[in-house]
């Protein structure tokens, strides 16, 4: 029996219509390693403090990125290294949505798959067990797509009244060990 990946479970038949680069990073293999480059923008002092608390990357241009994805039965651990800065999150399925845990911050997203992309749209947020009003987060979304045959990502988060916390985008290619 073939294992079904987390993203395949959530996206259903739309997962099979995705380009190979998107299906590959979200398949059910137990360990995957990717490397690439990205640009990171950040906000002001309060936004930088929020970014440090959440463990998201700091502003840099053309930074090397490594991503290791470890797949378990019901979850995926994503370990990202932006230069020397490490960011780790755990993805799980919750009521047909993707839940991402970044330390004490838990973000739940609706996923949708188009012909060439996966779009993450924020559904809810909480700090530990305390729900956060989604209206506080003026923008928290991600898009995965294919650029020049490579996996591409574009992730942004901002807080109402504070502005941009982080925006990072770039590309990855798989490293076969």
Domains and CATH numbers, the chain: 6-175 (2.40.128)
Q: What is the DSSP letter of 160?
A: T
Average pLDDT, the chain: 92
Residues 122-140: pLDDT tens digits?
Answer: 999 998 889 888 777 667 8
- Residues whose CB is less than 8 angstroms from the CB of residue 89 and which lie 6 or more positions away in sequence, other chains included: 77, 78, 100, 101, 102
Point out the least confidently predicted range of 12-21, 45-54, 102-111. 45-54
Q: Encode 25-57: b = buried (16+ Cβ within 10 Å), e = exposed.
A: bbbeeeebebebebebbbbeeebbebbeebbbb
- Which percentage of the chain shows pLDDT scores above 90? 69
User: Which pLDDT band holds residue 169 (cuts at 50, 70, 90)?
Assistant: very high
Largest CA distance in the chain: 51
pLDDT score at 1: 46
Q: What predicted TM-score, i.e. pTM, was given to this entire model?
A: 0.92
Burial of 122 (0-12, 13-18, 19+ CB in 10 A): middle
User: Which pLDDT band holds residue 160 (cuts at 50, 70, 90)?
Assistant: confident
């Amino acid at each position: 029996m073939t294992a079904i990946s987390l993203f395949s479970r959530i996206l259903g038949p739309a997962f099979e219509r995705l380009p190979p680069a998107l299906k590959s990073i979200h398949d059910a293999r137990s360990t995957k390693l990717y490397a690439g480059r990205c640009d990171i923008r950040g906000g002001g002092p309060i936004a930088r403090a929020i970014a440090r608390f959440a463990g998201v990357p700091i502003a840099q241009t053309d930074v090397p990125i490594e991503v290791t994805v470890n797949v378990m039965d019901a979850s995926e651990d994503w370990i990202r290294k932006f230069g020397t800065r490490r960011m780790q999150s755990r993805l799980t399925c919750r009521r047909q949505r993707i839940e991402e845990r970044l330390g004490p911050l838990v973000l739940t997203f609706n996923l949708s798959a188009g012909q060439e992309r996966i779009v993450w749209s924020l559904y809810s947020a909480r700090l530990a067990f305390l729900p956060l009003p989604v209206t506080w987060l003026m923008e928290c979304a991600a898009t995965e797509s294919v650029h020049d045959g490579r996996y591409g990502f574009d992730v942004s988060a901002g807080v109402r009244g504070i502005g941009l916390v982080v925006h990072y985008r770039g590309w990855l290619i798989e490293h076969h060990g």
